Amino acid sequence: MTPEQYIKALPQEQQEPIEQIRKAILDHLPKGFEETISYNMIGYVVPKTLYPNGYHCNPDLPLPFIHLAAQKNNISLYHMGLYADEELKEWFMAEYPNHSKRKLNMGKSCIRFKYTQELPLELLGSLISKMSVKQWISIYEAQLLR
């Protein structure tokens, strides 16, 4: 399955918001990350050519970074950097009210958007651009050593 096929398989009302977020990701994604389908979502990963160790949970898989999914009641953006880098998470949480009048609906690495007609695309673009492949690998490996 490709990201385009994933989007076409969604209910009509979820296709445009997913496409908008995907475009924001692709427009701001630092060089080296690769778009794929993983975990039945659109994924952005560090390819095995750049990080042969892969993901510690399953070394056959590339190192995950971001995932985008249409859920039953929302659109979810999973950003592993938010989970692993407290400074990045604090920046995002402080900046969010400047880009949305909706309350932030966020878990450890998941940002949920229920009201998809008001997506903070500029903020998401800034978030995506803040971490390079090299930085993500470094943060990931530091977390593994804890």
Q: Which domains does the chain have, with CATH numbers?
A: 3-144 (3.90.1150.200)
- For the cut 80, the answer to whether the pLDDT of residue 21 exceeds it is yes
**pLDDT band, residue 145 (cuts 50/70/90):** low
- For the cut 80, the answer to whether the pLDDT of residue 146 exceeds it is no
Enumerate residues 6+ apart whose C-beta is below 8 A from 96: 104, 120, 123
Q: Which two tokens stand for residue 29?
A: 């994604």
- For the cut 70, the answer to whether the pLDDT of residue 50 exceeds it is yes
Secondary structure of the chain in the HEC alphabet?
CCHHHHHHCCCHHHHHHHHHHHHHHHHHCCCCCEEEEECCEEEEEECCCCCCCCECCECCCCEEEEEEEECCCCEEEEEHHHHHCHHHHHHHHHHHHHCCCCCCCECCCEEEECCHHHCCHHHHHHHHHCCCHHHHHHHHHHHHCC
Q: What is the pLDDT of residues 58-115, one digit of tens each?
A: 899 999 999 999 998 899 999 999 999 999 999 999 999 999 999 999 998 899 999 8
CB contact at 8 A, 139 and 84: yes
pTM of the full predicted structure? 0.93
